[in-house]
Amino acid sequence: MLVSTGQLADAPMTRRIGARMHLAMCRHCRAFRRQIEALVRAAQAAGLAFEREPASDFEERILSCLR
Amino acid sequence: MMSGVSDLDRPSVARLRERDPDTLRAIVDQHGRRLYRAARGMGFSIEEAEDLTQEVFVTFVASIDRFEGRAQVGTWLFGILHHKAQERRRGRAREELSDPIDTVFESQFDAEGAWIRPPVAPDERVAAQEAGEAIRDCLDGLPSPQREVFQLREVEGLPAVEVSKILARTVTHIGVLFHRARARLRECLERKGWGRKP
């Protein structure tokens, strides 16, 4: 659950150690973590594609609205 | 990555309040495409995302006198984007307090907490290719609050505390929405046969 909620890094040290020990022993949870990592990489790649969509004058058009 | 401390010094905040063109340009250059990307990631069309990004900056400039420089400019801008996105979505289904994805997730464990239907570690190469094709469909299937949290946490790389400020929700609630988003995406990608070796 700590992996799924993204709270592992912020958890108290004892829970972090406990979670890491469990991950070291449980191949299903390691597989789960790898699935999450893979879907995050895919979402980040989709985000990069979005960023390239606007034309080169995108920022200029925003600035013209602010003048 | 944003933290709780402002990224602008006092002179910059003063120049911003005077609508100094160079300071505004620097902020548009730094945050314009990020905001656009986030709006697209939240499910808005190309045209809507461009409009939203412009509206965010217009609102930012109009409310600049209230910006005291205590928060990050990015947090302020993403907060405006969140409100604008909510306005556009008004009338759409509200977020349910309970979510069927919780039951789906929990059904994967037995009474002792062991996996009943263990996940299969994705083949990295196949997973990258297939998830790349499927992720947009799956993102479209997420309820708006989950999609917004997923976008801000995973794509924009913002910490939970920052996202909780932007969306005006507790860190715990952000964690719940984040977990549901990931669970729903994972289920969706698995249904599409993602990552399985041929």
Alpha helices per DSSP H over chain B: 10-17, 21-41, 46-62, 73-89, 100-106, 124-140, 144-150, 160-167, 171-191
Q: Which among B1, B3, B40 is the top mutation candidate for probing chain A, defined by the most A β-carbons within 10 Å of its own β-carbon?
A: B40
Q: Do B40 and A50 touch (CB under 8 A)?
A: yes
Please name the residues in contact with B80: beta carbons below 8 A apart, sequence gap of 6 or more.
B56, B59, B60, B63
ipTM of model: 0.78
* CA separation for the pair B128, B132 (Å, rounded): 6
pLDDT in tens, B41-83: 998 999 999 999 999 999 999 988 887 777 788 889 999 999 9
Supply φ then ψ for residue B115, to 5 degrees.
-65, 130
Instruction: Enumerate domains of chain B plus CATH numbers.
Output: 10-89 (1.10.1740.10), 100-191 (1.10.10.10)
Residues of A with Cβ-Cβ distance to B61 under 8 angstroms: 66
Whether the per-residue pLDDT at B130 is higher than 70: the answer is no
Q: Residues 6 or more apart from A24 whose CB is under 8 A from it?
A: none
Q: Which residues of B touch A28 (CB under 8 A)?
A: 115, 118-119
What are the structure tokens assigned to B126, written together? 């196949």
Residue A51 in tokens:
């960023």
What distance in Å separates the CA atoms of residue A42 and residue B4, rounded to the nearest whole number? 29
Helix pair angle (B21-41, A27-51), 10° resolution: 130
The answer to pTM > 0.95 is no
Where are chain A's structural domains?
2-66
**How do residues A12-63 score in pLDDT, each as one tens digit?**
888 888 888 888 888 888 888 888 888 888 888 888 888 889 999 999 999 9
Size of the A and B interface in Cβ pairs below 8 Å: 131
* Contact list, A31 vs chain B (CB under 8 Å): 118-121
A 7-46 residues inside an 8 A Cβ radius of B = 7, 10, 27-32, 34-36, 38-46
Element housing A60 (H / E): helix A58-66
| Contact between chains at A47 and B37 (C-beta distance less than 8 A) | yes
